Structure 1
Amino acid sequence: MLPGPQNSRTANRLEAKLRPGNKLNDHGVRQAQTTMASWAGGFYRRPVRALIGLSCGAALLVLAHDSAPMGSTAKGAPGHKPSAGLAYFNDRVPDKPWSIHVLKVDRSHPGYELHSTLPGGRSIGLATLTEQIRSLPPGLGQPVAAINGDFWKNTKPYEGDPMGLQIAQGELVSGPDPDRACLWVDARGQLQLGVVVPQFKVLWPDGRTTAFGLNEERPSDSVVLYSSAIGPSTRTLRGRELILEQDGTNSWLPLRIGCKLSARVARVHEGGDAPIGTNQLVLSIGPAATATVPAVQPGAVLTLCTDTTPTLTGAVTALGGGPKLIHQGQPGTFKGLQTRHPRTAVGWNDHYLFFVEVDGRQRSLSVGMTLPELTDYLLKLGCREALNLDGGASSTFWILGQVMNSPSAGRLRPMCNALVLVRKPTSGNLSGSLPTARNR
């Protein structure tokens, strides 16, 4: 069912049904006669005209593409899908007030992939959503839509370190947090949601093993592995650092999840902040941990293991967040005081993927949602799985070159990563674009 009760508010929730002869406006957006419908695939009622740039209610845009129509919607849902497999709307609920931005993606459409981003394209840090989208390799295809991603460390020298798991274009960038949920695209191309526990460890020449973290702040009594994703050096203070290179012709970089790497110690660096050279890793051992690990010399061979529970071998995209809002159709439970804030979430069912952003901290526009309110909204969209992402001033919703929402700080906030829907190069670019007027 549609979010909210079936009253006058439902007139603001529209799904496009293309009709022959519809024309593209000056912005390449198809203006369609519309009917009210359940976004989960429900019933149709009397037709209502969708308007672009409404000052209240819901603005709905159907993106056009030059391919053949996709056919019918989910089983039991009458009507006609937009050929691009996408639909966007801005849901306005005046009595709260709420302004909610929703992108709905047909999961059966073969032309789309999910990717996570990094500031500057390859290094942990902070950059705005639009900057991160621009840094995506052109060979991935056309960025179509994006939302902000994970929570992040906000203090130097590791400002921008994602709190949870991140895999970007197959490269393991940040390890999972065993106390927070994440999503990933598995080796079969299926979306998964759960809590992933790292089993990262180094096997020393004498047979002992030591657990390690990845691209994060290294406590004095811990061991952390650094790749070039952290930047040109480890940023550590004190300790012993092993500069690692590829051992022979064995599998090496980029670092991947669920793998074992054979690494040769090129040199030993004392004092911290070791440089990370091309095709190198650095294993950093804190001052209080040096007595607990074997002393190795240049030429020694170590085995690095990036296993997890559950196994994520072959995962090409992953992003942390939390908490789980919905899992296997069941809503999560939330402890403590629930307050309204800007929110961002990603949800899905067997048929559709949803990007959802709720503006907040703007009394005349939108006050934001609590986690239970966000969960309820996603359930009514039809989601069976959903993950909360970073919110507050980070909440940002982007489609085809435009930021569609109203960020609470009045500007784009730098963030650690993002989740981007990309149209594959073999599928061709979308011919539509969004109008410059936003629904504010």
Structure 2
Amino acid sequence: MIIGTHVSKYIILMSRKEINKLRSALIAMVLLLSFSFPQSNSNGEDRAWQTIVNGIQYRLFILSGPNNVYVARLDRQSPQVTIDSSIAQGRVSGGLETVRAMAERNDESISYWGEQWGGRNQVVVAINGFFYNPETGVPTSGQISSSWYAKRFDERENGSGFVWTLERAAFIGGCVVHNRSRQVITFLENGEVQPFDNINVPRGDDQIILYTPQYDATTQTADEGIEILVELNRPLMILPSPAMVTGVVRAVRDGLGSTPIPFDHIVMSASGSAAEIVRKTVQIGEQVGISQEIRHLDPSCKTPNPNEWSKAFASIGASYVFLKDGVIQRLGETGQILRSARTAVAYNQDFIFFLVVDGRDRLNSLGMSMVELAVFSNNYLGASWGTALDGGGSSTMVIQGQLKNNPTTEAQEANSSSRHTERAVANGLMMVNILPKKISTRFKPGDEVTIAADSEVNLRLGPGTNFPVLSTLLPGSGGVVIEHVNGLNGILAKGLYWWKVSFGEYEGWVSEEYLR
């Protein structure tokens, strides 16, 4: 009784943060009794971190339980490595793809890391992302990919997602708000400002919707309304006014829907009364600026959150935040308590961690509850923050194109002969090593070129085989190399050099190997 009294008095004098940390320590102490330290490998040695490329390492933890935990970590001080997000089939309009296929799609593609286009992605590690609609393939939360705000996070969405910025800052988003008056197009010729309604969603009546290359190959709109093609100087990122992403109007398509979306362009699509405003304001050759802002609040959606979304480079939705500033969170929903396969992102001031835990396999790996995941992240990795992504049969880790873990869906669990195959998902996260920019000088703007091939050649919307096909060109077709304002003519991407060429009705990108 005396001990209890003294403990009670001591706890009363503790701050709330100290109480939370004490609670976390007690939880960790209890749960660590169910974990042993990593078992040794076949050589009798602990599985240490393996360097894949400078700045990115991998390690497999084999725990009692049993549990297999696959962990990759990125050194936040290594400037040539970064985090990016992947989009299934390259389109948020709806698509599903395995993590391996998404990694392959992004490998050797051009990047905007360092705030300039031209470096190439070497995809080192890839994991699955957030939940999605299995019928449409559309992610159920927002996404930022290579600085492009590709899909808005839901209004007042609490626990919006993991965020990585161009300044190498990392945080877990709280409640987000898009004030319409802060999502604006500025027509720089006359200074007029026009709010827009959304990005990369089907256009409704009397709306202005902005479409980025991550939406689909085209806007998929009906013929009524007006669509303005704008070539940008950088991705359409989150950049609050008075800052803006600027661009030049290249085409005005009135009464023509389904406008193709080149890789460094957007399409401003307006209908009804909004179309009338745009018709009176925009002309080819004029400059426009676009500002976007996310107001960031704490989970209550009342108090401002100090973490800034401006210049976010990569983000996807996340579910449970199981670790906050070193404190293990109290989670009570059934899906949080039960052991299952898990995918998560955790971090501290030194590293970003990707974690995948195998599950649904009583002989090899049971899976973890959220609290167990928090204890592991905090005690084994030294992480201070952690949040879960989609788990279960979606949990997948791929390293340099090779599947590392053993995904098990419900159907595979019932049929052991079909186990360990990847589930197609809607998006993911990647650890990427940025390779240097390489340029061919074989041609220059104004050069006449001819398609030299035995069969049709693809004219693409961007420099790389990861971009959609705009049209096909017959052998012998003649064109002219045209200026590219972002300086990417002759750029190396996806193992080929690419040139922007005009073939009369169409302008697009062609591989140098087919040009003479």
For this structure pair, what is the TM-score category when the shorter chain's length is used for normalisation?
0.5 to 0.7
Q: Secondary structure at the match of 2:214?
A: helix
Per the alignment, residue 83 of structure 2 pairs with: 114
- Residues 35-91 of structure 1, C-alpha deviations (whole Å, 9 max, x = no match): xxxxxxxxxxxxxx5337x9xxx972542579xxxxxxxxxxxxxxxx876240133
**Residues in 2 aligned to 1:306 and 1:263: alpha-carbon distance in whole angstroms:** 18
**Residues in 1 aligned to 2:46 and 2:213: alpha-carbon distance in whole angstroms:** 43
Does 2:382 correspond to 1:412? no
Alignment of 1:22-171 (within 5 A): 49-51=40-42, 60-64=47-51, 86-94=57-65, 97-109=66-78, 112-120=81-89, 125-138=95-108, 139-140=119-120, 142-156=122-136, 159-161=137-139, 163-168=141-146, 170-171=147-148
Per the alignment, residue 173 of structure 1 pairs with: 150
Cα 1:60–1:296 change in 2 (3 A) is: same
Alignment of 1:209-288 (within 5 A): 209-218=194-203, 223-236=208-221, 240-246=225-231, 252-258=233-239, 259-261=244-246, 264=249, 266-270=251-255, 273-276=258-261, 280-285=265-270
Deviation at 1:105, TM superposition (A): 4.2
Aligned sequence identity (%): 23
Contact kept? 1:346, 1:354, Cα under 8 Å:
yes
Per the alignment, residue 36 of structure 2 pairs with: 10
Q: Tell me how large the CA RMSD over aligned residues is.
A: 3.8
Cα 1:174–1:220 change in 2 (3 A) is: same
Deviation at 1:228, TM superposition (A): 2.1
Q: Secondary structure at the match of 1:133?
A: helix
Cα 1:245–1:150 change in 2 (3 A) is: same
Cα 1:350–1:88 change in 2 (3 A) is: same
More helix by share: 2
Contact kept? 2:151, 2:199, Cα under 8 Å:
yes
Q: Secondary structure at the match of 1:135?
A: helix
- Residues 358-398 of structure 1, C-alpha deviations (whole Å, 9 max, x = no match): 22333444343343443343233322111221223221012
* Structure 2 residue identity aligned to 1:297: R
Deviation at 1:102, TM superposition (A): 2.3
- Residues 339-375 of structure 1, C-alpha deviations (whole Å, 9 max, x = no match): 4432210101123332111223334443433434433
Of the candidates 172, 180, 185, which is equivalent to residue 164 of structure 2?
185
Per the alignment, residue 19 of structure 1 pairs with: none
* Structure 2 residue identity aligned to 1:421: M
Q: Secondary structure at the match of 1:181?
A: coil
Does 2:291 correspond to 1:305? yes
Cα 1:197–1:359 change in 2 (3 A) is: farther
TM-score when scaled to structure 2? 0.59
**Residues in 2 aligned to 1:275 and 1:84: alpha-carbon distance in whole angstroms:** 38
* Structure 1 residue identity aligned to 2:395: S
**Residues in 1 aligned to 2:56 and 2:145: alpha-carbon distance in whole angstroms:** 26
* Structure 2 residue identity aligned to 1:144: V
Alignment of 1:312-331 (within 5 A): 312-331=309-328
Deviation at 1:226, TM superposition (A): 0.9
Contact kept? 1:161, 1:216, Cα under 8 Å:
no
Per the alignment, residue 414 of structure 2 pairs with: none
Contact kept? 1:183, 1:319, Cα under 8 Å:
yes
- Residues 141-173 of structure 1, C-alpha deviations (whole Å, 9 max, x = no match): 5433221123334344xx3446212122x3332
Which of the pair has the greater relative contact order for Cα pairs under 8 Å at 6+ separation?
1
Cα 1:337–1:7 change in 2 (3 A) is: closer
Contact kept? 2:107, 2:122, Cα under 8 Å:
no
Contact kept? 2:219, 2:259, Cα under 8 Å:
yes
Contact kept? 1:202, 1:212, Cα under 8 Å:
no
**Residues in 2 aligned to 1:84 and 1:197: alpha-carbon distance in whole angstroms:** 35
Contact kept? 2:67, 2:367, Cα under 8 Å:
yes
Moved more, 406-415 or 321-330: 321-330
Contact kept? 1:257, 1:314, Cα under 8 Å:
yes
- Unaligned segments of structure 1, at least 5 residues: 15-48, 67-82, 427-440
**Residues in 2 aligned to 1:342 and 1:63: alpha-carbon distance in whole angstroms:** 23
Contact kept? 1:165, 1:175, Cα under 8 Å:
yes
TM-score when scaled to structure 1? 0.67
**Residues in 1 aligned to 2:250 and 2:144: alpha-carbon distance in whole angstroms:** 26
Per the alignment, residue 27 of structure 1 pairs with: none
Per the alignment, residue 493 of structure 2 pairs with: none
Cα 1:336–1:400 change in 2 (3 A) is: same
Contact kept? 1:201, 1:209, Cα under 8 Å:
yes
Deviation at 1:130, TM superposition (A): 1.0
Q: Secondary structure at the match of 1:184?
A: strand
Moved more, 346-355 or 182-191: 182-191
Contact kept? 2:50, 2:57, Cα under 8 Å:
yes
- The structure having more radius of gyration, on CA atoms, is 2
**Residues in 1 aligned to 2:365 and 2:204: alpha-carbon distance in whole angstroms:** 41
Per the alignment, residue 26 of structure 1 pairs with: none
Per the alignment, residue 481 of structure 2 pairs with: none
Cα 1:279–1:194 change in 2 (3 A) is: closer
**Residues in 1 aligned to 2:33 and 2:372: alpha-carbon distance in whole angstroms:** 18
* Structure 1 residue identity aligned to 2:36: T
Q: Secondary structure at the match of 1:297?
A: helix
* Structure 2 residue identity aligned to 1:357: V
* Structure 1 residue identity aligned to 2:404: M
**Residues in 2 aligned to 1:165 and 1:220: alpha-carbon distance in whole angstroms:** 25
* Structure 1 residue identity aligned to 2:130: D
